[in-house]
Amino acid sequence: MELELLEERLGYSFADRELLMEALTHTTYVNEHRDVSVKDNQRLEFLGDTVINAIITERLYLQFTQEKEGPLTKKRAELISEGALSRIARRLGIGRHLLLGKGEEMDGGRRKASLLADAYEAIVGAIFLDSSYEGTAGVVRRHFEEVFGAFEEVSITDYKSLLLEYCQSQFKALPRITVVDEQGPEHEKVFAVSVTLDGRAIGQGTGKNKKQAAQEACKEALRLLDYPL
């Protein structure tokens, strides 16, 4: 029943449930149960890492047709980072299903970003072996879009950091990034952010949160400053 709930959240039902069990088994559990024929998820993790890389690379290549290799590489690195994969794993509730050794359990292993990211990679590897590349790609794309939104709407580049670095190096001054307005009810607020440099407004942006608004404002400021985006 527990595995069926996980499969429902994953959006995939395994023909071979043993693959799913293997994907959920941490090496510490295997070390403590040597009397039982059970495999850890490291090999599936290795496979899943490559499959996810291929799926995200393909999607970015097809989605961002005008982007050069450098920006595409940065976007991919951000999307397949430990932090990103662990966010997906948490949304899917993978942590509660893991088989862990007692020490790892006591050390909060079910909440560790590294362990969750590895488990998600292993599950993707298991889905790939249980189905096909195309079938796996559909599942993975859905997971990413549920967490990060539609790919065409995802802003991966940290425009705020780029702007700070650029202004420091080119103008020996840092811009001022300020929230200038917020509107709407608490659950649907829209924030407005302004960027100024030496008292001159160089960018404005809006977003559903302050961070998103700041990123949009900094992106506009970089364009105005002729930074090559």
Query: Consecutive 10-residue runs of the chain (229 residues): their mean pLDDT?
Result: 90 96 95 84 98 96 88 84 88 95 90 92 98 97 87 65 86 94 87 95 92 91 83
Residues 159 and 218: beta-carbon distance below 8 Å: yes
Residues 6+ apart with CB under 8 A from 188: 208
**Nearest-CA neighbor of 139 among 128, 149, 129?**
128
Residues 140 and 126: beta-carbon distance below 8 Å: no
Q: How many CB atoms lie under 10 A from the CB of residue 152?
A: 7
Give the strand order in the sheet containing 176-183. 176-183, 190-197, 200-207
Cβ neighbourhood burial of 218 (10 Å; 0-12, 13-18, 19+): buried
pLDDT at 151: 67
Report the alpha-carbon distance of residue 92 to residue 131 in Å, rounded: 20
Residues of the chain with CATH 1.10.1520.10: 2-153
Residues 100 and 11: beta-carbon distance below 8 Å: no
pLDDT at 155: 56
CATH of domain 2-153: 1.10.1520.10
The answer, as to whether pTM is greater than 0.75, is: no
**Which residues are known catalytic residues?**
49, 121
- Architecture in CATH for domain 159-224: 2-Layer Sandwich (3.30)
pLDDT at 194: 97
pLDDT at 154: 57
Residues of the chain with CATH 3.30.160.20: 159-224
pLDDT at 38: 83
